[in-house]
A and B are shown apart, each in its own frame.
Chain A
Amino acid sequence: MSDPSFQEALERLEAIVRELERTDVDLDRALALFEDGVRQLQVARGLLAKGDAQVKKVLQQADGTLATDDLDV
């Protein structure tokens, strides 16, 4: 869960676009925003293209700890 989440990427991207669409943005700032926006797009697209959902089952062991195991459904 340490990867940037889709939510973070999307919210950042939305903020970037909103700022970039204002006409009073300095050109340097506009380029920096654009470049950051491209990075966020790559994150978002990467997560959208990600493969199969992982399904695991969680079981409580005799000692109270939790163990996970892959589950075929």
Chain B
Amino acid sequence: MGGLTLFDAAVAPSDGALSVWQVTQRARQLVEAGFPRVWVRGEVTGFKAYRSGHWYFTLRDRRAQVRCVMWRSDNERVPAPLDEGLDVFAEAQPTVWEERGEFRLTVRQVIPTSVGGAWQLRLEQAKAALARDGLLDPARKRPLPRFPQRIAVVTSLDGAALRDIVAVARRRWPAIELLVVPARVQGDTAEAELCVALGIVNRLDADLVIVGRGGGSREDLWAFNSERVARAVAAVRAPTVSAVGHETDVALTDLVADVRAPTPSAAAEAAIPDRAALAALVHGLARRLAAGLTGRVELGAQRLDRTGDRLSAVLGTRVERARARVDAAEAALQALSPLRVLARGYAVARDPGGRVLRGVAQFPPGHPFRLTVADGDVPARVEDRT
């Protein structure tokens, strides 16, 4: 049991001592395994940007200091080099740099503590927590229903957001029910009220949920960056649209919702189908329905022409029955104007006395009759059928 138990024999030198490389490597493994990524607050000093693009600096406070490196791939997202003395939050992986035996931080991102930096830090931490739980996974995003009937709206009762959403709903698709679940969207109680309202939404059997507010200052919008509110959005059973009125920043609820809209109006437009577009779609289907039937009936008539006497008697009655059903259907269609196209191409046959001729038996060879078409009558005579 004696000797070296920490390292396997292959890497242990024969004299029983560790090489410097081995001990620093071991130290690095221990530090990285036992020390997950952390946020560190400190003052930047000794900043140097190398030609390679990597940044080297020291973070310090009154009692200690630590060397830091920030690789180019990470510092590219930082708008400017770090000023001497700048107070920052740094997200970093503690490690040991073997070549110098030096304890060091590999910095992934830095946020100045001034100008909302503390908020930014909280946001980044919340984002990381949501990501760990898989809530930011793009595969979680669900499509919105094509024709929602009941839409829940979580917003303030007296904000512009609600008026905008209602206006869009009335314009696009009136056959809709909007259930507004009120919540304050700014101030101390906003976070809790939004969470309660989002919980209520799950008891409403809604097809779709819009949560949001109109534009405002960063402070005003802050409730939508709360991790609790984001988790409440993620827990909504129906598909969600997040609309926090600001074009540039993205709120945490935007990342968690199924769809992100830049404004409440845009959210309503994304969620609610447009009546005019649907009317056109229905109109097109009505035309295809009519064309489909007339095409089929003509096909039947052609087949009838090609068939012998024996079959023609059978098919004849079937076609007549079919015609009667078409007539009945046409009557039902009078209210459906696009289907009047069906009337085109149809003719009614009458005998000289005006009686409608319905069966083959009513057309003896040589018999005269009249065809009524859309714009008038045509005299006609039955040809010799042999």
Binding site for B on A (CB under 8 A): 1, 5-7, 10, 13-14, 16-17, 20-21, 23, 25, 27-28, 30-31, 33-35, 37-38, 41-42, 44-45, 47-48, 50-60, 66, 68, 71, 73
Contacts and interface: CB of A to CB of B under 8 A. Distances in A.
Contacts, number: 135
A14 B179 CA distance: 31
A45 B282 contact: yes
A56 B180 contact: yes
A53 B200 contact: no
Nearest to B151: A53
B169 interface: yes
B279 interface: yes
Interface in B148-181: 149-150, 152, 157, 162-163, 166, 169-170, 173-181
DSSP majority for the B interface?
A: helix
Nearest to B150: A1
A21 B203 contact: no
Interface string B267-304: 00000000100110110011011001101110110000
A33 B275 CA distance: 26
Given A23-B299, A30-B296, A14 B169 contact: no
Contact of B296 (A27, A38, A58, A66): A27
B306 interface: no
B112 interface: no
Given A68-B179, A73-B163, A60 B333 contact: no
Interface in B165-201: 166, 169-170, 173-182, 196, 200
Given A1-B149, A34-B329, A58-B181, A53 B288 contact: no
Contact of B174 (A10, A20, A50, A66): A50
25 contacts: A10-B147, A13-B285, A14-B285, A17-B289, A20-B293, A20-B296, A23-B296, A25-B296, A27-B296, A27-B300, A30-B293, A33-B292, A37-B289, A38-B336, A41-B282, A41-B286, A48-B275, A52-B174, A53-B170, A53-B174, A53-B175, A53-B176, A53-B178, A55-B180, A66-B203
Contacts of A42: 335-336
The residue in A23, A34, A45 that gathers the most chain B C-beta atoms within 10 A of its C-beta is A34
A70 to B, nearest CB: 11
A9 to B, nearest CB: 9
B322 interface: yes
Contacts of B335: 42
A57 B180 contact: yes
Contacts of B325: 31, 35
Nearest to B166: A73
B179 A16 contact: no
A27 B297 contact: yes
Interface residues of B, number: 54
The residue in A30, A38, A50, A56 that gathers the most chain B C-beta atoms within 10 A of its C-beta is A38
Given A13-B285, A38-B329, A54 B178 contact: yes
B326 interface: yes
Contact of B282 (A27, A48, A51, A55): A48
B338 to A, nearest CB: 9
A39 B319 CA distance: 22
Contacts of A66: 200, 203-204
B132 interface: no
B326 A31 contact: yes
B204 A41 contact: no
A4 B157 CA distance: 32
Lowest 10 CB-CB distances: which A-B pairs, in order? A20-B292, A50-B175, A7-B147, A30-B296, A73-B166, A34-B293, A37-B289, A57-B180, A17-B288, A53-B169
B174 A58 contact: no
B166 to A, nearest CB: 4
A25 B339 CA distance: 21
